Amino acid sequence: MTTVLETLSSDLASAVSAAGQSIVRVEARRRQSATGVVWSADGLIITAHHVVERDDNIRVGLPNGTIVNAALVGRDPTTDIAMLRVEVSDLTPATWAALESVKVGHLVLAVARPDANLQATLGVISALDAAWRTGEGGTIDAFIQTDVVMYPGFSGGPLVSAGGQMIGLNSSALMRDTPVTLPAVTLRRVATALLAHGKVKRGFLGVSAQPVRLPEAIASQVGQETGLMLMAVEPGSPADSGGLIMGDTMLALDGEKVHHMDDLLALLTGDRIGKTVPVLVLRGGQQQTLTVTVGERK
């Protein structure tokens, strides 16, 4: 008589096998190969940025064992996503799970192809939270953490549900000592930008800053306790051209309050590039509004 555990074991093996039709090996760094996922049948592969250490001489090992050359379409270091293209037209694209279907406690599999064979580890969704920003300023639409073991070569591979759908892409580079999963909604947004521009466009002011507590009287007037003191303004930058100077405390950009550097980075989106926006600063104890034309980060 088949036991519950035997049935579960068989179902998980089937999930790995089904997902494996869309999982490839990525050879783009000196030592350990990594993993990628078929994005489209006509040869697009999505993987982790940090495992693509070179822009050329990239090879991809397909599920059928064939090894083909790949070209780099684009990369976004801030979200640790890269996209490759192979000249193959009959690949099996991944089936992605809706973020709303993911729950804490769900059984999941990290699946990889660091060599010719599939590898998998089992765990659960241990944490699920709202959107967050990476240390490089990229936006991830949900925080997904698991207790699966990420062996060498697993980065760039998928997190797979017990039903065989792919929840997102695994990365070991965005948080220190903590692998996270980039949800499919983030992959779609970044992939669209990479296909269009080869990168994700982001705004640029040319400042370095740190949060400071505002004087009580000023805080009461502006309705916020902290702002961003400019520690440096790059010569010739948009901030410099707009009249911002070292020592200014930035309170708001384009009508949105800024308390921390993350707030400023979140406002410097691609749609603000080339746009002239008001910047509210505190200078010499007085509020001033300057105008700055947002540049594009190179």
Domains of the chain: 1-200 (2.40.10.120), 203-296 (2.30.42.10)
Of 35-49, 79-93, 103-117, 210-224, which range is least confident? 210-224
Residue 298: pLDDT band by 50, 70, 90 thresholds? confident
> Do 179 and 169 contact (CB within 8 A), yes or no?
no
> Do 91 and 46 contact (CB within 8 A), yes or no?
no
Q: Per-residue pLDDT tens for 115-169?
A: 999 999 999 999 999 999 888 888 999 999 999 999 999 999 999 999 899 999 9
Residue 246: pLDDT band by 50, 70, 90 thresholds? very high
Catalytic residue numbers read 50, 80, 155
Name the DSSP letter for residue 269: B
pLDDT of 16 strictly over 70: yes
pLDDT of 182 strictly over 60: yes
pTM score of the predicted model: 0.85
Strands 207-213 and 203-204: unpaired
Q: How many Cβ atoms are within 10 Å of 53's Cβ, its own excluded? A: 12
What is d(CA 248, CA 167) in angstroms, rounded to the nearest whole number? 44
